């Protein structure tokens, strides 16, 4: 998926087929659905699922669609931001793989929905973003996906609860990220320390709050 419009169209094809994961993401089912990395459009994904019908435990198809949607939404596979997009700081730039490089620090971008189990409202979370970032590190990406590397969180919020649908709104998300880059200041990064990790974690957060309609 090279062009922004094409990538967005493929993700929106998947949205009507999304269903609850049925379980927490885990290493075993991730291994079963590794084909999502080779399916660069929704029809290819559906073909892969059809080929393996009857060979999987019940629910793997839903798991695969959700995982594909997550992977091909803003994350390591997307290339719609130009390579080496310069930020406001001379030594900071965004690579085409959604990685923010600033001096010696690298921040991988992680797009995530506003967590329903967080226990605070959007307004409360916006007042204390460092608390939300700490929560996200501790409660997301368990097992083989958990790490405490530097991150730039893009937090999606839909007023009617359709946070997950916003992962397909790529043009809109691009404007959010580019606005952040235009005013990027590495001195404003949040520094977190996690006991047992013996390292400092640098992070920041972009609020992506939806005000339009989702088709």
Instruction: Give the per-residue pLDDT at 74.
Output: 67
Query: What tokens does 136 get?
Result: 């996200």
- Which tokens belong to 18? 């999304």
Supply φ then ψ for residue 170, to 5 degrees: -65, -40
Q: Output the six-digit token pair for 168.
A: 């397909």
Tokens at 106, concatenated? 């690298």
Within a 10 A sphere around the Cβ of 197, how many other Cβ atoms?
A: 12
Which of these, 6, 17, 10, 134, lies nearest to 80 by C-alpha position? Answer: 6
pLDDT value at residue 16:
92
Distance CA 171, CA 155 (A): 16
Q: Where are the domains positioned within the chain?
A: 4-72, 85-209
DSSP string, 181-204: HHT--GGG-EEEE-TTT-SEEEEE
Task: List the 99-102 sheet strands across, edge first.
Answer: 85-86, 92-94, 99-102, 105-113, 151-157, 200-209, 190-193
Give the strand pairing for 105-113 and 151-157. parallel
Q: Which residues of the chain, if any, have pLDDT below 50?
A: 1-2, 76-86, 88-91, 96-98, 104, 144
**pLDDT of 74-108, one tens digit each?**
654 444 443 434 454 444 555 544 455 655 467 77
CA terminus-to-terminus distance, the chain: 21
Cβ neighbours of residue 87 under 8 Å, at least 6 residues apart? 93, 94, 100, 102, 181, 182, 184
pLDDT of residue 82: 39
What integer pLDDT is reported at residue 141 of this predicted model? 61
The model scores a pTM over 0.85 = no
Write down the pLDDT at residue 162.
92
Residues 108, 177: Cα–Cα separation, whole Å: 13
């Amino acid at each position: 998926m090279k062009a922004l419009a094409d990538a967005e169209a493929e993700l929106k094809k998947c949205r009507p087929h999304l269903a609850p994961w049925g379980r927490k993401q885990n290493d075993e089912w991730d291994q079963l659905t590794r084909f999502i990395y080779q399916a660069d459009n929704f029809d290819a994904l559906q073909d892969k699922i059809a080929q393996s019908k009857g060979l999987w435990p019940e629910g793997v198809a839903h798991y695969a669609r959700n995982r594909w949607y997550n992977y091909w939404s803003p994350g390591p596979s997307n290339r719609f931001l130009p390579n080496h997009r310069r930020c406001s700081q001379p030594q900071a730039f965004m690579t085409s793989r959604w990685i923010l490089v600033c001096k010696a620090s690298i921040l991988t971008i992680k797009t995530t929905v506003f967590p329903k189990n967080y226990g605070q409202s959007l307004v409360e979370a916006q007042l204390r973003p460092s608390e939300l970032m700490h929560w996200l590190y501790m409660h997301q990406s368990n097992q083989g996906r958990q790490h405490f590397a530097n991150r730039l969180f893009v937090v999606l919020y839909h007023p009617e609860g359709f946070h997950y649908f916003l992962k397909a709104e790529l043009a809109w998300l691009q404007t959010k990220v580019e606005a952040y880059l235009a005013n990027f200041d590495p001195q404003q990064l949040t520094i977190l320390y996690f006991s047992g990790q013996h390292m400092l974690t640098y992070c920041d957060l972009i609020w992506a709050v939806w005000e339009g309609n989702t088709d």
